[in-house]
Amino acid sequence: MIKMKLSPQATDIYDAYEQVELPNDEEWEEYDNVTPVDELISEDPAEVNRHILTSSYGQGALGFKEAQKPYCGGHDGDDILFEVEYQIKSGKKLKGITKSIAGASGGNLNPAHTALVIDCAGLYSSGAADASFVEGDEMFNSLLEHVVAPPILRLHWTDMGVPPVQYAFWGELLELLPEGVTKVCCHGGHGRTGTALAALYLVATPTATADDAIELVRTDHCSRAIETAGQEEYLRKLAQERDALSA
């Protein structure tokens, strides 16, 4: 059987996987969540990663064992990651408002005191318009007035991927966010959510580097956030584009 450990130079989240040797059938039960393979996929870890990504078997097959990750029970979005102060016109005067940004898991998001939900996975339900908490005869429609249902902005973003937008998108999005708390969510609140949080932070903090943004999100939101090397590279390109625009 084959044994190959992926090198630190692997270019995706799958650099945490190890192709393990299965000595014989009798010892098979010692290996959990692993499938034997007959031949080495490639000596190039990046090529192995691409093979896993495109395989119909998925991550848990092809002789790969997932490394242990820090436990995460989900995020409700009640912990603010950062805030941005804005001045807006109110009649003839300027009014100061605060925009607060937080990250959440789609299934754990607490809608209370939420001005906007940015849903990067199409999972969050408002409990009102899109997937009603109250459903029945028209006589019960008045109950909808009591459902906490913040407005939703949906971003159709592939899991583990990066969005098809550049720096200007995040700049305009931050401008459009309402006063109060905006909660960004996806499935687990890590990959897409973490990348979006870091992108917004790069706009809000012109002196921050991509590594600063990544560290903030992983330290103050979740250590599992921003899941792939591709997402990290996307944030570095955003920071470079921002710096070029301001030069």
pLDDT digits (tens, 9 = 90+) for 133-177: 777 788 887 887 787 788 999 999 988 889 999 999 999 999 999
- Shared domain for 112 and 231, answered yes or no, is yes
- Shared domain for 20 and 101, answered yes or no, is no
This prediction has a pTM of: 0.71
In this prediction, residue 231 carries a pLDDT of 92
CATH code, domain carrying 201? 3.90.190.10
Containing 193, the helix (H) or strand (E) segment is helix 191-204
- Shared domain for 96 and 155, answered yes or no, is yes
Return d(Cα 216, Cα 223) in angstroms, integer.
Answer: 10
Return d(Cα 53, Cα 12) in angstroms, integer.
Answer: 10
Q: Domain total for the chain?
A: 2
| Amino acid, single-letter form, for residue 121 | A
Q: What is the pLDDT of residues 70-86, one digit of tens each?
A: 677 789 999 999 999 98
- Shared domain for 45 and 91, answered yes or no, is no
Return d(Cα 87, Cα 83) in angstroms, integer.
Answer: 13
Two structure tokens written together for 153: 């902005």
Backbone angles phi, psi at 5, to 5 degrees: -95, 130
Q: Is 81 helix (H, G, I), strand (E, B) or coil?
A: strand
Two structure tokens written together for 120: 């990067």
Return d(Cα 131, Cα 110) in angstroms, integer.
Answer: 16
- Shared domain for 221 and 142, answered yes or no, is yes
Two structure tokens written together for 194: 């973490």
CB 128 within 8 A of CB 91: no
In this prediction, residue 43 carries a pLDDT of 55
Sheet containing strand 152-154, edge to edge, reads 80-90, 93-105, 180-186, 116-119, 152-154
Distance of CA 87 to the CA centre of its chain: 29
Q: What pLDDT tens digit does each residue of the chain (247 aa) get?
A: 333 333 333 334 344 444 444 444 444 444 444 444 445 556 555 555 555 554 444 444 444 444 445 677 789 999 999 999 987 777 777 788 999 999 999 889 999 999 999 999 988 876 544 556 777 788 887 887 787 788 999 999 988 889 999 999 999 999 999 999 999 999 889 999 999 999 999 999 999 999 999 999 999 999 889 988 889 999 999 999 999 998 8
- Shared domain for 84 and 172, answered yes or no, is yes
DSSP letter (8 states) at residue 15: G
- Shared domain for 104 and 167, answered yes or no, is yes
- Whether 157 is covered by a domain: the verdict is yes
- Whether 73 is covered by a domain: the verdict is no
User: Where does residue 109 fall: left (phi above 0), alpha (psi -120 to 50 degrees), or beta otherwise?
Assistant: beta
Those residues whose C-beta lies under 8 Å from the C-beta of residue 35, and which sit 6 or more positions away, are: 57, 60, 61, 62, 63, 64
Domain that holds residue 214: 80-246
- Shared domain for 108 and 209, answered yes or no, is yes
Two structure tokens written together for 65: 């064992």
- Shared domain for 239 and 159, answered yes or no, is yes
Distance of CA 76 to the CA centre of its chain: 14
